[in-house]
A and B are shown apart, each in its own frame.
Chain A
Amino acid sequence: MFGGCSLGQPARKTHLHGFHSSRGRMVSFAGFEMPMWYKGIIPEHMAVRNAVGIFDVTHMGRVLISGPEAEAFLDYVTTNNVAALPPLSAHYSTMCNELGGIKDDFILSRLEPKKFLIVPNAINRAKDYEWLVKQSQAFDVKIEDVSDNIAMFAVQGPKAEQTLQEICDEDLSKIPRFKGGWAKLAGVEVYVSRTGYTGEDGFELFVWNVPLSNPDKAIKVWSAVLEAGRDVGIEPCGLGARDTLRLEAGMCLYGNDIDENTTPLEAGLGFVVKFKKRNFIGKEALLKQKTEGLKRKRVGVRMLERGIPRPHHEVWKNEEKIGHVTSGTFSPILKRGIAMAYLSTEYAMESTTVDVRIRDKFVKGEVVRFPFYDVTQYGYRRET
């Protein structure tokens, strides 16, 4: 059944490592020892779709950018419109190289008029920090990697607000999607952002000033959320459910679906590329690509026959290879295989049937729009 197991590097740990290792199946991810699942990927996934789940996402990075020219700098180094972002708000964005290749994708928050927070992907923590520092030479800004001093949890699902409200001193219903604010949670000062990576309503919690050597405040918040959500069926969720949830929602995973060889336009992230901005890194290359037209696009593929598409599987049409899968899994909601794939533009249209080459078989699938689930039943737009 199994090949050899890989020898891990000395793994980094988060504040909640004790909880994770006593309750979960642990894996190494981006140098961190993290839970893949506790009860199981499917029950954790369903808890988030139907009620609420909590994820430790402290392995991701946290970088503060502040100073008189912080806004101008971020408008230069990222693709979205930072000037248009009010304080206590967030937007999704990308950071590109000069060729328009994606260096990272992240949520950027404006905490104060001249103070911003970026949350890089775990695998890009060092790379992003170095890039930001390098590109900031001409700007009057301060860039601080505060990752190790802030714990970060995601509380996601239709019961997320109700759960957090029980232990929160501020009225969370006054924080709309992609807005944030400071609040006391279980008596601990936390920055609460109504954002996430699951497609559901939910919050990301930043527990400030909590070093690994003194994790009490982080543990206190985590435990209080679990307690507050007990009656509605909260589950602690691992990286496994995090991946299936984001995939069902159609959200990219850096390293799989996007990297420095893909552009935001090919990835279907054109909505965070603001060409009206005077200048930003990658603008020229992206504008050229936009003018010339895209050769390939990221699409969703829902399997029509049994079989689970996985990264690197080829996609075929009429005996011709037209692309490849970058992420694939079994969808707990659809109960079938789903994938993200890059296809030649001519085939990247809804309802196109394709063949995914899964090992030695060609298995039928169809191109669908994101998210994969019915938005009237699941996700933040659901009709309750």
Chain B
Amino acid sequence: MMRTQDYEIPDELYYSKEHEWARLQGKYTVVGITDYAQKALHEIVYVETPVVGSKLKQTESMGVVESVKAVSDIFAPISGEVVEVNQALAESPELVNKDPYGAGWIAKILPANLKNDLKNLMNAQQYADHLRKLEEK
């Protein structure tokens, strides 16, 4: 587990600049939003998950996370077909705040172009550096 001063960054995940994470799990990839993202949004009250069966392209919007005040797109960290979404978020969107890398996952994707897509993502160390730069601004 990497940590910046304020955020958890698990070692085994891949990260996008827009603060999504991707976890390789057998032939699937599970995606969600990072600890930084959930802390920035605070008090998540609604999550719009993608439709199962829909085909996503890397970086396109796959859903929405809303706090009381703010609406943020979730961008697909990898391309592929949505095979499952986290149904629990409909009743309990706060799971994204409580456990962003676990119970607060957003969707499970069957990747279409994983090897290439991963080149566009960061590892934990790179993402930690990315956050440090953002915090310095």
Contacts of A306 in B (CB 8 A): 46, 90
Determine if B40 and A2 form an interchain contact, defined as CB atoms under 8 angstroms apart.
yes
Contacts of B71 in A (CB 8 A): 308, 310
Closest to B90 in A: A306
B98 contacts chain A at the CB level, 8 A cutoff: no
B19 contacts chain A at the CB level, 8 A cutoff: yes
Closest to A36 in B: B69
Chain A interface residue count, CB cutoff 8 Å, equals 21
How many residue pairs link A and B with beta carbons under 8 A? The number is: 53
Chain B interface residue count, CB cutoff 8 Å, equals 25
Determine if A42 and B68 form an interchain contact, defined as CB atoms under 8 angstroms apart.
yes
Complex Cα distance A332/B33, Å?
A: 24
A307 contacts chain B at the CB level, 8 A cutoff: yes
A1 contacts chain B at the CB level, 8 A cutoff: yes
Determine if A1 and B45 form an interchain contact, defined as CB atoms under 8 angstroms apart.
no
Determine if A308 and B65 form an interchain contact, defined as CB atoms under 8 angstroms apart.
no
Given A308-B45, A308-B46, A330-B46, CB of A2 within 8 Å of CB of B19: yes
- A interface, CB within 8 angstroms of B: 1-2, 5, 25, 36-37, 40-42, 240, 243-244, 306-308, 310, 329-330, 332, 337, 359
Determine if B74 and A41 form an interchain contact, defined as CB atoms under 8 angstroms apart.
no
Complex Cα distance A306/B42, Å?
A: 19
Determine if A41 and B43 form an interchain contact, defined as CB atoms under 8 angstroms apart.
yes
Closest to A310 in B: B71
Contacts of B88 in A (CB 8 A): none
Closest to B71 in A: A310
B75 contacts chain A at the CB level, 8 A cutoff: yes
Q: List 15 A-B contacts (CB under 8 A).
A: A1-B20, A1-B75, A2-B19, A2-B37, A41-B67, A240-B68, A240-B69, A306-B46, A307-B46, A308-B46, A308-B66, A310-B71, A329-B69, A330-B68, A332-B68
B60 contacts chain A at the CB level, 8 A cutoff: no
Given A1-B73, A2-B40, A307-B46, CB of A41 within 8 Å of CB of B19: no
B11 contacts chain A at the CB level, 8 A cutoff: no
Of the candidates A5, A329, A359, the one whose C-beta lies within 8 Å of that of B68 is A329
Closest to A337 in B: B46
Contacts of A40 in B (CB 8 A): 42-43
Of the candidates B42, B72, B90, the one whose C-beta lies within 8 Å of that of A1 is B72
Complex Cα distance A332/B18, Å?
A: 28
Determine if B19 and A244 form an interchain contact, defined as CB atoms under 8 angstroms apart.
no
Mask of B1-42 contacts with A, CB within 8 angstroms, 1/0: 000000000000000001110000000000001000100111
**Most B Cβ at <10 Å: residue of A5, A329, A330:** A330
- Nearest-Cβ distance from residue A42 to partner chain B, whole angstroms: 6
Determine if A2 and B68 form an interchain contact, defined as CB atoms under 8 angstroms apart.
no
B64 contacts chain A at the CB level, 8 A cutoff: yes
Determine if B64 and A359 form an interchain contact, defined as CB atoms under 8 angstroms apart.
yes
Mask of B72-93 contacts with A, CB within 8 angstroms, 1/0: 1111000000000000001000
Contacts of B90 in A (CB 8 A): 306
| 10 tightest Cβ-Cβ pairs between the two chains A and B | A330-B45, A1-B19, A41-B68, A1-B37, A1-B18, A1-B72, A40-B43, A330-B68, A308-B46, A308-B66
Mask of B45-70 contacts with A, CB within 8 angstroms, 1/0: 11010000000000000001111110
